[in-house]
């Protein structure tokens, strides 16, 4: 399918989705968000894809929701259409792993989109922020919720109330991003991580994603039970026999997603 605001490329089981609205620093308008959700769902359904990367340009992952598009909307408009609800549910419904490769600005909805991915690899030029407060509004797609779970209350309040930007180094220290690399190495690093994931059994990959995400939704005892049941269930797979057998035979496992 041809897209106007994103580029999609699949190579070696990795689907690379590049946000492509350079004239607006990849601001997330309705068209881009809808195309992104469609591309993610296509990748989720494709046998050729085992891991997904979402990235932007060197200057901007995404500078937020599109302010021009939102500026004239009324409360009745945004409440009636439940702005961003459907599209964010489509994005968080993806079962294959999604890595956000972030360079430059990841602001407002851009930071929230990165947080909806499974982990963030950042270049040393990345800048994260929730500057919605400067526009007379507040985050609407996770900036007050996911960010608080990732970096704690004090830093989340600081970011959300002052609207300041957080550099990559601080974001890594705070637990928002998993790795920081020089800008030139960002895509190699993200692709390398995606290829590592692509080598695993997709059954254990999807179960792991599900279990980690569950930890944000349920109390610890429920989460531990959920994890244990998923762990038990993987013993019904051929890939468990193959993975453990290969270790004991000192050879590489050949997973078949069965
Ligand atoms: N929306 C629309 N256009 C944008 C946006 C945006 N968020 N950000 C940048 N642009 C446009 C600019 O208007 C400009 O266009 P033009 O050349 O036609 O005037 C072009 O991109 C380049 O931008 P700048 O000239 O401003 O570039 P600078 O390098 O000087 O500054 C900044 C870069 C600091 C990133 C600056 O552009 C900026 O502050 N942008 C806005 C950041 C912001 O406030 N983001 C939050 C938006 S609100 C939001 O995200 C709400 C989230 C709710 C849920 C979202 C679900 C997706």
Q: What SS3 string covers 17-72? A: EEECCHHHCCCECHHHHHHHHHHHHHHHHCCCCCEEEEECCCCEEECCECHHHHCC
Cα 224 to Cα 158: distance, rounded to the nearest angstrom:
32
Catalytic choice (132, 156, 172, 207) = 132
Q: How many CB atoms lie within 10 A of CB 245?
A: 12
Cα 212 to Cα 176: distance, rounded to the nearest angstrom:
15
Q: Is the CB of 32 under 6 A from ligand 1?
A: no
Q: Is the CB of 71 under 6 A from ligand 1?
A: no
Q: Is 112 a catalytic residue?
A: yes
Q: Which pLDDT score is estimated for 37? A: 98
Residue that the structure tokens 């590592």 belong to: 196
Structure token pair of residue 203: 């059954």
Q: Residue 28 Cα, ligand 1 centroid: separation in angstroms?
A: 10
Q: What is the ipTM of this complex?
A: 0.97
Quick one: residue 250, left, alpha or beta (phi over 0 = left, psi -120 to 50 = alpha)?
Answer: left
Q: Residue 62 Cα, ligand 1 centroid: separation in angstroms?
A: 8
Q: Which pLDDT score is estimated for 115? A: 98
Determine contact, residues 164/171, Cβ cutoff 8 Å.
no
**How large is the average pLDDT for residues 223-235?**
98
**How large is the average pLDDT for residues 12-29?**
98
**How large is the average pLDDT for residues 26-31?**
97
Pocket test for ligand 1, best of 25, 60, 107, 147 (most atoms within 8 A of CB): 25
Q: Given CA atoms 52, 35, 25, 172 in this order, what sign does their dihedral have? A: negative
Quick one: which atom of ligand 1 is closest to the CA of 108?
50
- Predicted confidence (pLDDT) per residue in 66-92, tens digit: 999 999 999 999 999 999 999 999 999
**How large is the average pLDDT for residues 13-36?**
98
Strands (E), the chain: 6-11, 14-19, 51-55, 60-62, 98-102, 105-107, 119-123, 127-129, 165-167, 179-181
- Predicted confidence (pLDDT) per residue in 192-211, tens digit: 999 999 999 999 999 999 99
What are the Cα distances from residue 129, in Å, to 27, 97, 111, 138, 186?
Answer: 14, 24, 7, 12, 20
Where do the CATH 1.10.12.10 domains begin and end in the chain?
201-249
What is the percent of the chain where pLDDT is above 90? 99
What is the percent of the chain where pLDDT is above 70? 100
Q: Which pLDDT score is estimated for 1? A: 72
Pocket test for ligand 1, best of 6, 19, 22, 24 (most atoms within 8 A of CB): 24
How many C-alpha atoms does 117 have within 13 Å on its Cβ side? 29
Write down the mean pLDDT value for the chain: 97
Q: Does domain 6-198 have CATH number 3.90.226.10?
A: yes
Q: Is 109 a catalytic residue?
A: yes
Where do the CATH 3.90.226.10 domains begin and end in the chain?
6-198
Cα–Cα nearest to 52, from 119, 124, 107:
119
- Predicted confidence (pLDDT) per residue in 97-154, tens digit: 999 999 999 999 999 999 999 999 999 999 999 999 999 999 999 999 999 999 999 9
Top-level class of domain 201-249? mainly alpha
- Predicted confidence (pLDDT) per residue in 38-50, tens digit: 999 999 999 999 9
Pocket test for ligand 1, best of 35, 57, 67 (most atoms within 8 A of CB): 67
Q: Is 58 a catalytic residue?
A: no
Q: Is 39 a catalytic residue?
A: no
Cα 133 to Cα 40: distance, rounded to the nearest angstrom:
30
Q: Is the CB of 37 under 6 A from ligand 1?
A: no
């Amino acid at each position: 399918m041809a897209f106007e605001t994103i580029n999609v490329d699949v190579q070696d089981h990795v689907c690379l989705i590049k946000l492509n609205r350079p004239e607006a620093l990849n601001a997330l308008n309705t068209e881009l968000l809808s195309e992104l959700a469609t591309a993610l769902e296509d990748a989720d359904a494709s046998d050729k894809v085992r891991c997904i990367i979402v990235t932007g340009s060197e200057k901007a992952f995404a500078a937020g929701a599109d302010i021009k598009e939102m500026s004239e909307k009324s409360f009745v408009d945004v409440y009636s259409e439940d702005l961003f609800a459907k599209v964010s549910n489509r994005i968080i419904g993806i079962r294959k792993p999604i890595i956000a490769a972030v360079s430059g600005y990841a602001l407002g909805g851009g930071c929230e989109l990165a947080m909806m991915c499974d982990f963030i690899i950042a270049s040393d030029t990345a800048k994260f922020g929730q500057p919605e407060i400067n526009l007379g509004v507040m985050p609407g797609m996770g900036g007050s919720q996911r960010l608080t779970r990732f970096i704690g209350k004090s830093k989340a309040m600081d970011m959300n109330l002052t609207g300041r930007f957080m550099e990559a180094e601080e974001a890594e220290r705070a637990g928002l991003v998993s790795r920081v690399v020089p800008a030139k190495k960002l895509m190699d690093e993200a692709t390398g991580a995606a290829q590592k994931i692509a080598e695993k059994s997709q059954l254990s990959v999807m179960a792991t994603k599900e279990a980690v995400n569950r930890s944000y939704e349920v109390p610890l005892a429920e989460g531990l039970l959920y994890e244990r049941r998923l762990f038990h269930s993987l013993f019904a797979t051929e890939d468990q026999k193959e993975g453990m057998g290969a270790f004991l035979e000192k050879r590489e496992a050949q997973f078949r997603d069965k």
